[in-house]
A and B are shown apart, each in its own frame.
Chain A
Amino acid sequence: MALEKPYSDIPGTVIFDADQARKGYHLNQFCMSLMKADNRARFKRDERTYVDEWPMSEEQKQAVLARDFNRMIALGGNIYFLAKIFSTDGKSFQYTAATMTGMTQEDYAAMMLQGGRSPEGNRRVGETPAREGSDEEAQ
């Protein structure tokens, strides 16, 4: 029997569970290798040669080379492992999070300063966005 995944209807979210971890094992282990300064230097010198040393799928390699973090996550990457890639690039968590939302870093940072993304309308796929504060009133 398949395991229950009550989290599969959360919008814009991939939960890094055992199935994702299995798919992404080599992708994530490649990321771990970037914790060593020598490996970071080698990766920067020739990214394609470096990723070819890892038994990742071509799709995973292309996602890495394109820095397509949503794609890497869909293919089994986990954000804390993928952080080694954007740290190697000298980019921050906030920069990378912004790219995943399709917002500019400026707009994303402004959203965070205004209190972040509201959970209203973001709890389940297909739910009707509620008016601000209506959740509070309902309780």
Chain B
Amino acid sequence: MARITAGIATSHVPAIGAALDNGRSTEPYWKPLFAGYEFSKQWIARQKPDVIVLIYNDHASAFSLDIVPTFAIGCAASFQPADEGWGPRPVPVVEGHPELASHIAQSVIQQDFDLTIINRMDVDHGLTVPMSLLFGQPERWPVRVIPLAVNVVLFPPPSGRRCFELGKAIHRAVETFDDDLNVQVWGTGGMSHQLQGPRAGLINKEWDNRWLDRLIDDPDEVARIPHIEYLREAGSEGVELVMWLIMRGALHPEVRTVHRFYHVPASNTAVGHVILENIT
């Protein structure tokens, strides 16, 4: 049987990818950020997950304004890194897991979550930056990935409650897959940041850390936070944090925090990162 063993949350700032791709990760500006992921790289090398269900948002790369799915699951065998305007990132092709992805799609649709099925999609920094942070720069990614794209660009994104419940549905779906797979669920994006307008640069360290405390210990309460609080407190792009609730919903109510990291800034953004293990 497949089982979800752990969840990871991390920001997915594009400048982090650029720093790594351009060999600048040891510069004084970036060093403390990458240091926050050293434990995580060693941890995941021991964990050896077979599949990651990677919750992220597309940033006008695969989805233009022609089609804007609220939740879209990638069922393809592979996904190419997207050209976001400066050429694709020099990272490996992302290999999917079509069997488990299709199983999750069928299962969660029958649990009333109407996912859009995607069989061809390029994946942008929202997905590849977390991969780089956890796996570095290998020739091939050592894991298969099921991309699950959430609309957080065109307001309104799905509610925190909806995301949390989708996570629970994904948990039930994975646990009914027959193959013996070690599955992780990752939630990405955030934390506080605003990239646009005269209020750009907003960071709310206190709010971020309180939110993270509650995500771990009282996710039911965090799931009730309305969008307007994210927009006011964590900036217009901070609303991406609802994606972390999908990860949290996919884990057990009680989890063990094995790593937690917070850093300001990466370009315009507060970086948060946490590893949660299911207590078995």
Binding site for B on A (CB under 8 A): 6-7, 10-18, 21, 25, 28-29, 31-32, 34-37, 40, 69-70, 73, 78-81, 83-84, 87-88, 90, 92-94, 97-98, 100-102, 108, 111-113, 115-119, 122-124, 135-136
Tell me the complex Cα distance, A113–B32, Å: 12
Q: Does B23 contact A (CB under 8 A)?
A: no
Question: Could you tell me if B86 and A78 are in contact, using CB atoms closer than 8 angstroms?
Answer: no
Interface size class of B (residues with CB under 8 A): 35 or more
Q: Does B78 contact A (CB under 8 A)?
A: no
User: From residue A91, how far is it (CB to closest CB) to chain B in Å?
Assistant: 10
- Given A73-B197, A78-B153, A97-B200, A31 and B232 contact (CB-CB distance below 8 Å): no
Residues of B within 8 A of A21 (CB): 65, 154
User: From residue B194, how far is it (CB to closest CB) to chain A in Å?
Assistant: 7
Other A-B contacts than A12-B198, A28-B60, 7 sampled, CB-CB below 8 A, are A16-B155, A81-B60, A83-B59, A93-B14, A115-B265, A123-B232, A124-B232
Question: Could you tell me if B268 and A112 are in contact, using CB atoms closer than 8 angstroms?
Answer: yes
Question: Could you tell me if A108 and B232 are in contact, using CB atoms closer than 8 angstroms?
Answer: no
Question: Could you tell me if A13 and B84 are in contact, using CB atoms closer than 8 angstroms?
Answer: no
A-B contact pairs, 7 of them (CB 8 A): A12-B197, A37-B87, A80-B60, A92-B15, A97-B195, A101-B197, A115-B203
Identity of the chain A residue whose Cβ is nearest the Cβ of B13 in the assembled complex: A93
Identity of the chain B residue whose Cβ is nearest the Cβ of A69 in the assembled complex: B196
Which residue, A92, A93, A118, has most C-beta atoms of chain B within 10 A? Answer: A93
Binding site for A on B (CB under 8 A): 14-15, 59-61, 64-66, 82-87, 153-156, 192, 194-207, 227-228, 231-233, 236-237, 264-265, 267-268, 270
Question: Could you tell me if B60 and A78 are in contact, using CB atoms closer than 8 angstroms?
Answer: yes
Question: Could you tell me if A70 and B267 are in contact, using CB atoms closer than 8 angstroms?
Answer: no
Main secondary structure of the interface of A (DSSP, over half): helix
Question: Could you tell me if B199 and A122 are in contact, using CB atoms closer than 8 angstroms?
Answer: yes
Tell me the complex Cα distance, A73–B195, Å: 11
Question: Could you tell me if B153 and A15 are in contact, using CB atoms closer than 8 angstroms?
Answer: no
Residues of A within 8 A of B86 (CB): 87, 90
User: From residue A5, how far is it (CB to closest CB) to chain B in Å?
Assistant: 9
Residues of A within 8 A of B228 (CB): 6-7
- Given A7-B231, A112-B264, A79 and B85 contact (CB-CB distance below 8 Å): no
Identity of the chain A residue whose Cβ is nearest the Cβ of B237 in the assembled complex: A79
User: From residue A112, how far is it (CB to closest CB) to chain B in Å?
Assistant: 4
